[in-house]
Structure 1
């Protein structure tokens, strides 16, 4: 049951209770008043009976027709009287139960017969009219009250409906939702607080996005600096050591021990150099500064396929729009994280990567043939990182999966926000 119907029901019950109490008080007071008047009318009836017995002419019609609460009936001259209804009979029994219905029949000196009795019909009619007026008044008051309540509640429910709609917008991430200002002070107060809350949430969201963007940019700068340091310093030292070992091997090839030592040093340096190259590649893809995005992604797929033994098929468009260094880094890292998730969770044997531009948008799709999943929960750090990178680029990241059908990652980005 809605709030409006509950309020209407409560108000109706209240009016019924008040009306019932008022009717009971009215009947109680009317009963007392009518009994006092009809007791006095009984004295008049006794007087008329005595007068009629002494002088029949005392009951002339022009003398008795205007008497209140007294009925003079001549059986020899029957008259048509209206039949009282159930309400009138009940009121008569309630107001004056001791009243005689027809009275005692008197035989007068002139041979005629007459019945003189107390008649409560006038009082019954008055009380009946008062009851009808009271019921009509309560009905009108109830109707006006229900209309006023309906109008007031409708206004309040309209505000609640607007609030519910705005809250649903906020729950969907639309923090631009605002409530209009109404005429009532309470609704203005509510709308003001909600609008202030939505503005604060929007401001906090923007600040968090800016902070996240700054943190990601700082992380990329730190990785770049570390990668450059490893590449320029330690990498050069390792290359020099390896060159010296080649020289040592060339001049001491006749000594077996020295030759074996040189071979071991050369192998260790090779492994160390390969490890540093992988570390540099993971920390920061140096090739992004020298290659276009499509070439860098193709090289990433080849290295990933060689490392993990999973087939990686690339479909990369050559006519990509100009992309800034920061956007390239985000796209590269997002794809790198997607491929890492394939290795960790998908149990796939094949991955397809497609990158193309069209309709003023750039689209990246990564599809694997792994085990898939029933549903996607919030995800771990990797998935959250990909979503945050997509949001920083102003794009939309979608994940589709089905048990046994693998997982599809789809990223759609506006071209306008990717330029240098």
Structure 2
């Protein structure tokens, strides 16, 4: 709005400058016209005086065409325009000048205006008229405008025009500001609507406006909002289905590893023990090889158990989310010698829907894995709270003291698809994820609605590495 008003003022000032220039030109031309008209009137007046002297009084002078004392009268002065000086030069006599008063033309012009006027127009051109066209030696009349008279006349007209123009400009500016401000009110509403769309509120719609152009914009924004809502719903449903398929694949893979690979390792351990027990006393090398096979089998079994812990979620159906989290923390404390994981569960987690429980478990699992993998913590705190006072939600927080850069994690640098997977998983449930700095490390905080309501995502804040 301020830009538009500024442009309007620029146009008004440009028009005002043009009007001032035109007034100055018109004043200059008026002075020239008055100078010429005065010369004509005075010459006619003097010529009339000559004929009166010739016919009525028979007093024609041999030296001058017109008796000198008779022309400088009130009647002659009355035909001289204000600010004009008339000079009569009969032959053989010194020229004599008659000037009209200039006070009637207004106040004196400022010095800067006079300098500008002289720079633009220069001095007025005198007008010369011969008293008799038959005899140019009879004398002549010269009419010239006084410089101060031209300045006064021009300044008076410019002052009037500038005063009127300034009043009009002020009125136009005030009215234009009010009209433009009123016309741009829908723009603010549109901007607020776009910001709500940016925040994820896809159910908000713009109202109808009186202006046809803003109505077109509002219609386009509402259509975009509807399309985004449909796209987001389809993406959420697809993401939910993908995670369900992922869980099914994990369970199938865990079952196959346990049934097939686990049995093979068990059989390998039994065979190694049989070889060690049946080795002859003189074949100590066979017993050593059997023990080496047993040690390798034990390491493979430990790795298999760890993989099964990461893959399995069916324990949630069997022992519940809280017990599964305790088992997850216990496994990390057993495997990690440099960091201690502490669990704090607040509220009841037994009645959570299956998919919500699985997602909470997976998010906690990913956060702990990232904390151990990408940082150097000595302590990791996992806190899960069921908040059901105002909204039935689950709050999950993981905080470590292993350093790390939250901004680096938010950008996804060096963390593969783990953070992205957590965001998508929580997004499918209508929750929010925040990643930020903790006291000595980084912190991740997730809010997950128990009913899975999809109110959009809010990312920012804190996370863990």
TM-score if structure 1 supplies the norm length?
0.73
Residues in 2 aligned to 1:119 and 1:241: alpha-carbon distance in whole angstroms? 130
> Structure 1 residues 318, 175: CA separation in 2 closer, same or farther (over 3 Å shift)?
closer
Shift of 1:159: 4.3
Residues in 1 aligned to 2:402 and 2:396: alpha-carbon distance in whole angstroms? 19
Residues in 1 aligned to 2:109 and 2:246: alpha-carbon distance in whole angstroms? 96
Residues in 2 aligned to 1:188 and 1:47: alpha-carbon distance in whole angstroms? 79
> Structure 1 residues 129, 9: CA separation in 2 closer, same or farther (over 3 Å shift)?
closer
Correspondence for 1:185 among 188, 208, 212: 212
Correspondence for 1:275 among 292, 296, 303: 303
* 1:282-329 deviation line (CA, Å, top 9, x unaligned): 222332231110000101111111111222222224632511222122
Residues in 1 aligned to 2:14 and 2:22: alpha-carbon distance in whole angstroms? 12
The 8 Å contact of residues 38 and 120 in structure 1, kept in 2 or not, is answered as no
1:405 to 2:426 alignment:
no
Task: Decide which moves more: 349-358 or 334-343.
Answer: 349-358
The 8 Å contact of residues 312 and 350 in structure 1, kept in 2 or not, is answered as yes
Q: Which residue of 2 aligns with 1:74?
A: none
1:306 to 2:346 alignment:
no
Correspondence for 1:362 among 394, 412, 425: 394
Residues in 1 aligned to 2:322 and 2:359: alpha-carbon distance in whole angstroms? 14
Correspondence for 1:378 among 411, 419, 433: 411
Bigger helix fraction: 1
* 1:210-239 deviation line (CA, Å, top 9, x unaligned): 322222222111111221222234434544
The 8 Å contact of residues 341 and 382 in structure 2, kept in 1 or not, is answered as yes
Where 1:394 maps in the other structure, the secondary structure is coil
Shift of 1:339: 0.9
Shift of 1:3: 0.5
Q: Which residue of 1 aligns with 2:11?
A: 11
The 8 Å contact of residues 24 and 154 in structure 2, kept in 1 or not, is answered as no
Where 2:209 maps in the other structure, the secondary structure is coil
* 1:221-260 deviation line (CA, Å, top 9, x unaligned): 11112212222344345445656766x4798487775766
* 1:376-396 deviation line (CA, Å, top 9, x unaligned): 532332222222222223223
Shift of 1:351: 1.9
Q: What pairs with 1:334-349 in structure 2 (closer than 5 Å)?
A: 334-349=363-378
1:194 to 2:221 alignment:
yes
Residues in 1 aligned to 2:318 and 2:240: alpha-carbon distance in whole angstroms? 24
Correspondence for 1:388 among 424, 430, 436: 424
Return 5+ residue gaps in structure 1 as ranges: 72-80, 100-116
* 1:52-108 deviation line (CA, Å, top 9, x unaligned): 9778xx99x9x969966589xxxxxxxxx99444359999x9998769xxxxxxxxx
Shift of 1:331: 1.0
> Structure 1 residues 158, 52: CA separation in 2 closer, same or farther (over 3 Å shift)?
farther
Q: Which residue of 2 aligns with 1:211?
A: 238
Residues in 1 aligned to 2:20 and 2:222: alpha-carbon distance in whole angstroms? 48
1:332 to 2:361 alignment:
yes
Where 1:416 maps in the other structure, the secondary structure is coil
The 8 Å contact of residues 433 and 444 in structure 2, kept in 1 or not, is answered as yes
Q: Which residue of 1 aligns with 2:93?
A: none
Q: Which residue of 2 aligns with 1:221?
A: 248
The 8 Å contact of residues 28 and 154 in structure 2, kept in 1 or not, is answered as no
> Structure 1 residues 70, 143: CA separation in 2 closer, same or farther (over 3 Å shift)?
closer
Residues in 2 aligned to 1:178 and 1:279: alpha-carbon distance in whole angstroms? 49
Q: How many aligned residue pairs are there? A: 388
> Structure 1 residues 52, 201: CA separation in 2 closer, same or farther (over 3 Å shift)?
farther
Q: What pairs with 1:27-42 in structure 2 (closer than 5 Å)?
A: 27-42=27-42
The 8 Å contact of residues 345 and 385 in structure 2, kept in 1 or not, is answered as yes
Residues in 2 aligned to 1:323 and 1:144: alpha-carbon distance in whole angstroms? 68
Residues in 2 aligned to 1:52 and 1:365: alpha-carbon distance in whole angstroms? 121
The 8 Å contact of residues 348 and 370 in structure 1, kept in 2 or not, is answered as yes
> Structure 1 residues 47, 342: CA separation in 2 closer, same or farther (over 3 Å shift)?
same
Residues in 2 aligned to 1:303 and 1:128: alpha-carbon distance in whole angstroms? 97
Q: Which residue of 2 aligns with 1:153?
A: 180
> Structure 1 residues 384, 193: CA separation in 2 closer, same or farther (over 3 Å shift)?
same
Residues in 2 aligned to 1:97 and 1:269: alpha-carbon distance in whole angstroms? 121
TM-score if structure 2 supplies the norm length?
0.67
The 8 Å contact of residues 276 and 291 in structure 2, kept in 1 or not, is answered as no
Shift of 1:29: 4.1
Where 1:323 maps in the other structure, the secondary structure is coil
